[in-house]
Amino acid sequence: MLDHAEMAVIVTDRFSNLLYWNPFAEKLFGHQGKSPSRDASVLSLGIMEKDHPLAIELAKHVLKGGVWEGTFDVRRGDGTIIYVRAQAVPLRHTSGSVTGIVITAREALRSNEREKDRFGLLERIGERLAGSLYVEETLKRVAEMLVPQFADHCFIELMEGDRLVRRVSQHVQGWTPPSGTWKPVGAEIRYPSGHYADTALRRQETILVESFATSSYPATSEGSARLCGEIGMTSAIVAPLLVRGETLGLMYLGLSNLTDRRSPHYDAFDRDFVGAIATRVALAIDNALLFEEERHTAESFQKYLLPRALPQLDGLQIAVRYYPAAPLASHGQGIQTQVGGDWYDVIPLSAGRVGIVIGDVEGRGAKAAAIMGQLRAALRAFAQDDKSPADILARLDEWTRIIATPEHDDNGAEVSIPPIVTCQYLVYDAWSRQLSFANAGHAPPLLLVDGQCVELDIEEVGQPLGVHANLHADLVYKEETRTLPPGAALLLYTDGLVDRRPGRDGRVPSEEETLGVLCEKLAKMSGAEVERIADAATVAVPGDIDDDMAILVVRSSDVDLDVEERTFPAQPIMVGEARRMASEAFSSWNVPEERAELACLLVSEVVTNVVLHAATASVPRRELVVEGPPLPFDESWDVPGFEDEGVGDKEFTLRLRRGEEAVWVEVFDQDLRLPRIRSAGENDEGGRGLYLVDQLARRWGSRPTREGKAVWFEIPTRGR
């Protein structure tokens, strides 16, 4: 009797191992001619992975003596997906104990209980569509659900402006329409007037063609009409995709003689059912379109807030990456795009030095990205002062509090809650390979050298920006200095690189585990190009990232860059010596004669001013302790008249650096006063030195040092 039953019958033991299935079950699940293996479980029938918890629930419920009924998504042996309606009851011993499970199953909507199945299947379709956030993925899921379960052919066409464009063309497995017949994906579709699809669009209602044998409609093309005759198109349903009063497109389902079905024709029940499906599909597509638009807007926002292009720097290779995390369902906040406040930056500083930044604003979405943009712009401005990394972070911490958005507490009082930001700011000198940095609660960089990957040793990790510490001392950021080995690589990253979402087992790997995996893989390619290291880092840790992720990789030069340095007594006769030193260095570096002469002229101007105004060497900057208000700014750095001052113990240092496209000149002295350009009168003997530097150099500036100050300028050796 079971061999001839028009339903699938499956018997398992208490451990869900298959004991028996009848011939109809073989056909339903696509295992014809195969007998069940004793060690095979019910999951081997093809129940899709997302429904495995449902199968486990079935077994637990029935083994307790209950009856279970539900719907499974099943991938058949030929790869097609069908919906299977199943009922399960206990298999009992004569003693009454439960010894196994008996399951009866049939394909949904292929029985006399279509009305009962419709609600269950619509629920399953809604569940599958609810998990899709991308248009292409949504359309693919729709086609997989309907072909071949409910149709032999499925077309989905969406409106793009005034055009109707085919986005899906799905057919029974093993068959594709020949070229020149039905339009392919991406083609514009034009239905002639009087065509049933045109009617569905104009009337905004689902149209049923019960039988093409008794109906006549204009064809979209001769090739299409010929193909319909060859494959024996029997019936079709076209449903408009409507949402919020707008038509998104069409969903076309068709039956043909390519498959053997109990009924090769659709009826009014099928039309109503497809209309209900189309409503859910339209809503899913609309949600996906809105999400993609929001994500695109947020990603564009983030993209244009980050550096558009990185500068070319001497003695330093740089690679950067930024990835938003996958979408995240947030309680009460819908779907978040995961674009957030991670940022990086590379800032050219004085004399070829470079500022390197990595930071992360707490939170996600456009607000975090907007705060990030303000902080990045502020840090760039602060960095131009060429102060120490610790001073820069202290100013940025103050700015973080200034930009805090005022809110109201329970009593209506206005309170300001600053964002929490982790940040690390580093200053790198490629000629000395010296790295100075300060850290505000950020993860230490990874140092890659000689086949090893370790965290950079940081003694002082300060509080994140915006955090209110109990003691003022906690907010004083400490500066540290390291010297990078030649050819060493440094990887700076935000926590999105090591934070991962729960795996399939529901376990969340710890940060120590993911960091260990990352270091293990990066150590093997410590000598690779920075672009390869950045690519390897993004995929080193398995699993979906739980936050947006920024990566910045830099590598020091493995060869020494050209530099000349000499200290002179601060005497007028030394101006000529300094100029001679510069001329010889520029000549040995093959600097073009015109540029070398210009640089030597400016060397004379800067050194002359230093000789006139340098303070004594016995007053180092690091011993200066200021109580009360800051010292007033001195306005007379470029004013003559100090020739009579004692100069016996004065000195200055001239440093020359050669880069790929420029030379830099630095002059160091012990004077604490920073220079500025004066407006010299017509009869003034001095006051024009810095004006010449400003007009003739590409860039110039000054910065405080531990012992005093440095005045520098840049002369290009190529182009202007």
Letter string b/e over residues 242-267, b meaning 16 or more CB atoms within 10 A of that residue's CB: bbeeebbbbbbbbbbebeeeeebbbe
The fold adopted by the segment(s) 563-614+649-716 is Heat Shock Protein 90 (3.30.565)
What phi and psi values does residue 426 have, to the nearest 5 degrees?
Answer: -125, 145
Q: CA-based diameter of the chain, in Å?
A: 123
Tell me the pLDDT tens digit for each residue of 50-64: 788 888 888 888 898
Is the model more confident about 700 or about 542? Answer: 700
Say which residue the tokens 């010299």 belong to: 680
Token pair, residue 158, equals 């969406």
Question: Whole-angstrom Cα distance, residue 628 to residue 66?
Answer: 83
* Average pLDDT estimate for 99-105: 91
- Is it true that the peptide bond before 630 is cis, omega within 30 degrees of 0? no
**pLDDT of amino acid 325:** 67
Q: How many CB atoms lie within 10 A of CB 653?
A: 16
Residue range(s) of every CATH 3.30.450.20 domain in the chain: 2-108
Residue range(s) of every CATH 3.60.40.10 domain in the chain: 308-501+508-556
> 582: closest CA among 561, 613, 612, 604?
604
**pLDDT of amino acid 591:** 92
- Write the class of the CATH domain 308-501+508-556: alpha beta
Give the contacts of 641 (CB within 8 A, at least 6 positions apart): none
Q: Which CATH superfamily is domain 2-108 in?
A: PAS domain (3.30.450.20)
Coarse DSSP helix, strand, coil percentages of the chain, rounded to the nearest 5 percent? 30, 30, 40
DSSP structure string for 169-197:
EEESTT--PPTTSS--TT-B--PPTT-HH
**pLDDT of amino acid 383:** 92
115-293: in CATH 1.10.10.60: no
Partners of 158 in the β-ladder: 165, 249
Question: Whole-angstrom Cα distance, residue 530 to residue 490?
Answer: 9
**pLDDT of amino acid 616:** 43
Residue range(s) of every CATH 3.30.450.40 domain in the chain: 115-293
Check pLDDT > 50 for residue 575: yes
pLDDT band at 78 (very low <50, low <70, confident <90, very high): confident
Is the model more confident about 90 or about 115? Answer: 90
Tell me the pLDDT tens digit for each residue of 656-671: 999 999 999 999 998 8
CA angle 640, 643, 646 (to 5 degrees): 135
Question: Whole-angstrom Cα distance, residue 112 to residue 116?
Answer: 9
Terminal CA-CA length for the chain: 95
* Average pLDDT estimate for 454-477: 75
**pLDDT of amino acid 614:** 58
DSSP structure string for 351-380:
GG-EEEEEEEEEEESHHHHHHHHHHHHHHH
